Amino acid sequence: DAGVIQSPRHEVTEMGQEVTLRCKPISGHDYLFWYRQTMMRGLELLIYFNNNVPIDDSGMPEDRFSAKMPNASFSTLKIQPSEPRDSAVYFCASSLASGKTDTQYFGPGTRLTVL
Amino acid sequence: AQKVTQAQTEISVVEKEDVTLDCVYETRDTTYYLFWYKQPPSGELVFLIRRNSFDEQNEISGRYSWNFQKSTSSFNFTITASQVVDSAVYFCALSEAYGGATNKLIFGTGTLLAVQP
């Protein structure tokens, strides 16, 4: 089975531009998570969805960040406008809904550089 | 509040040495889960193990073993006979399970393991 798929793997953009990161979770998984990894803050949860519905977006840093999950097999994380401090690796992860905590499987990440 | 502490920032060993990565956690809940993930130089996060708070049995998988001790709130990871391919950043993570609806992971800061040939 395919794991979590993320695209693009690398993104370089200029400050002020809109950036869209994409994620396809593992088929059958009901939870989808977006994380950000930076040297200063480590791995931090931005938002997660259950059955396509956002459950907790308290980790989204600013209104410039938005995330959607239009269907069970696709999610986007958008940054508009982007800023240099948004440079990081963004991970998407998915897990099954099992009534208790289940293992989150991560995608390969998108390395974002904002110049 | 939940917290995961990995006090070892970097460890360097020579191939075939055993190495233990420490993880200490804080939580007020009685039901929780602990995880270890590996992040090799290529950057992906690879799941290694999950342990729930009711299962204190140690686990061994090949050269990997995990020691869970609730009394000291620790979940340490040992690699026996380390190999160069074990070089990576290792993350310990904690998740609470109350309410059945939340499974947010709180990550430690990671330990960079360098295995020298």
The verdict on B36 touching A (C-beta cutoff 8 Å) is no
The model's pLDDT over B49-82, given as tens digits with 9 standing for 90+, comes to: 999 888 888 888 899 999 999 999 999 999 999 9
Find out whether B108 and B93 touch, Cβ atoms under 8 Å: yes
What pLDDT is attached to residue A54?
93
What pLDDT is attached to residue B103?
66
The model's pLDDT over B13-60, given as tens digits with 9 standing for 90+, comes to: 999 999 999 999 999 888 888 999 999 999 999 999 999 888 888 888
Q: Do A99 and B100 touch (CB under 8 A)?
A: yes
The verdict on A30 touching B (C-beta cutoff 8 Å) is no
What pLDDT is attached to residue B80?
96
Residues of chain A with pLDDT under 70: 1, 98-101
Mean pLDDT over each residue of chain B, to the nearest integer: 91
